[in-house]
Every structure is written in structure tokens, then in C-alpha cells.
Amino acid sequence: MIMIITIDGPAAAGKGTLAKNLSQKYNYAYFDTGMVYRAVGLEMYLQGKDLSDQDSALKIAQNLTFEHMHELAQNPDFRSALGGKNASIVSAYPEVRAALLKMQQDFATAPVFADGTPAQGVIYDGRDTGTVVCPHADVKFFITASAEVRAERRYKEFLQKGMKADYEEVLAEVKARDERDANRATAPMKPAADAIIFDTSNLNINEVTEKACEVIDEKQKR
């Protein structure tokens, strides 16, 4: 049986780091689902499409493959603030979400590592992975933190990567993204009813990882 773990929550709450820690510890594959929306947003930008052009976004989403998504991830704009903003705009279109759902769900049927080796479990990270993508996941986490703490983390990440950043702008973008992600009509970001919620404002990533492992170990005993 494939073990499915979902980690949802707002931008820069620590989902990615937690997912990588858990994937290393348990030797499970990892699917960062924000990538599918980042790929569509970036492709729109590269094709010179207006982000309000829902038909073009849908076509791009329908034709997106796992391989092309990973190619696009090499582009410096994929992880930039602009990339996050564009992803959040196209992700609000219900048809785009529907077109990208199967690709995300299929991964759990035969999860693989980057080199193609099969894995016994999968860790999803995103906004709706415990509610929409894998409502039957074995363990669900929802990771959050104050907007200020998350903006500070994102700001430092940009600087570490040698990218230009302004804290106030990053904070405004974090808040704008939260607003869009939480209030869109389709699959708004919210914890699943059976999710375990961690607020990482005052917890470091090792403490969060430890707590998450306790939950997973307990689940595996049963």
C-alpha cells in the first residue's frame, strides 16, 4: 500500500522544507503541486499571453506534461516573486484546476523519485492536496505562520538566491496571495477537517519535523 501524506498551507509557511525532511526520512517521493500552477503561469508569460486570458491558460494546462513542467522549472522566473504571483492568478481559474487535477492524482498511484525509482509513499505539498487532490490521504498536515514571519523567510530566501527583494513588497505579495488563495471559489486554501494544524511562527523546522514524524510513526503502527 502506498502511504500518502499531504501538507497544505500558505506560501512560505515551511511546507517545502517539511516535505523534503519527511521525504528523506521515510524515503517517499515528493510532489510540490505549486509547480503545476507555476508552470502554467510561466508558459503564459513566455507565450506573451495576458494572465486574464482563461482560454489560453486552459489550453496550456491541458497540454502540460510532467517533463515540460520540470523543464520550465529550470527558468529563473519559475521560482521568482513574479512566478508565484502568476501561478496564483491562473490557479484561481476552475477549468485550469480541473485540467491539472489528474496529473497530480496519478502521481500517487505509482510515485517515483526524480531518477525514476519507485517509492512506497508520497508527500504532497500545496494548498488543496488534503481536501481535493487526495481527500483519502493517510496523514494530512496544514502548516501556517503569520504573514510577517512568512514574508521575512521568503525575503531571506530571495537574498540567499542572489535575487533582488524588498521586505515590504514581499509582505504585500504574501498577503495578496493569501487573499487570492483563500477566497477563490474553487478549492480555496483551507485545512481538511481531519488535518493536523501546525503554526510555525514560533516553531523551528526541526521541531515541526519532529512533531510530524510522531504523527506518521503513530499512523504506521496501526
C-alpha 176/C-alpha 11 separation (Å) is: 11
107 near ligand C5P, judged by CB under 6 A: no
Rounded CA separation 83/86 (Å): 5
Q: Does 121 bind ligand C5P (CB under 6 A)?
A: no
In sequence order, which residues have a C-beta less than 8 Å from that of residue 164 and are 6 or more positions away? 158
Find the part of the chain contacting ligand C5P (CB under 6 A) among 22-30, 87-95, 114-122, 190-198. 87-95
The answer to whether 86 contacts ligand C5P (rule: CB under 6 A) is no
In 3-state terms, what secondary structure has residue 176? helix
Smallest gap, in angstroms, from Cβ of residue 218 to ligand C5P? 26
Q: Is 11 in the site for ligand C5P (CB under 6 A)?
A: yes
Work out how close the CB of 2 gets to ligand C5P at its nearest, in angstroms, rounded to a whole number: 19
When asked if residue 198 is in the footprint of ligand C5P (CB under 6 A), the reply is: no
Radius of gyration, CA atoms only, the chain: 17
Is residue 182 within 8 A of residue 189, CB to CB? The reply is: yes
209 binds ligand C5P, rule: CB under 6 A: no
Contacts with ligand C5P by CB under 6 A lie at 11, 33-34, 37-38, 84, 87-88, 91, 126-129, 177, 181
